[in-house]
Structure 1
C-alpha cells in the first residue's frame, strides 16, 4: 500500500498540523468522512481530531456531536 492509499497520522497544533506518518488523507473524527490533506481546514489541537467541515467542528466543540 502506498502512502497515497492510506490515512496520514498528524499532530494538530493551533495554527497547523505536522505529518507524523505519511498518507494523503485523514478521517473526520465525527462523520468518518475521508478528508484529503490539501483540503483539511478544521481540527482541534486539544482533542487531536480532524473535522470535515466548519459545521461539524462547531458542533463537536460545543458538545453537540
Structure 2
C-alpha cells in the first residue's frame, strides 16, 4: 500500500528564521515529546540542532538543557 504525502513526516532543513522542505509531508515530529506538528503550525525549532519543537516552553527547556 502506498502512503500519501499526508501520512508521512516531512524532512526539513531548519534555518535561523525559516525552514526549507527537503522531503514533502504534512507534519514533523517534536524532538522532545514525539508530538506530531502540522507544518502550518510549526513555529519553534533549532537551526543548530536541526530539531522541531511543539511549543515555546518545550523549545526553551530543550535549549537550556532541561528536556
TM-score when scaled to structure 1? 0.99
Aligned mates of 1:34, 1:54 — CA distance in 2: 15
1:31 shift after superposition: 0.0
The equivalent residue for 1:62 is 64
Deviating beyond 6 angstroms after TM superposition, the runs of 4 or more aligned structure 1 residues are none
1:1-65 maps to which residues of 2 (within 5 A)?
1-65=3-67
Aligned mates of 2:47, 2:5 — CA distance in 1: 24
The runs of 5 or more residues in structure 2 that have no matched partner are none
- Which structure has the larger Rg? 2
How many positions carry a matched residue from both structures?
Answer: 65
The runs of 5 or more residues in structure 1 that have no matched partner are none
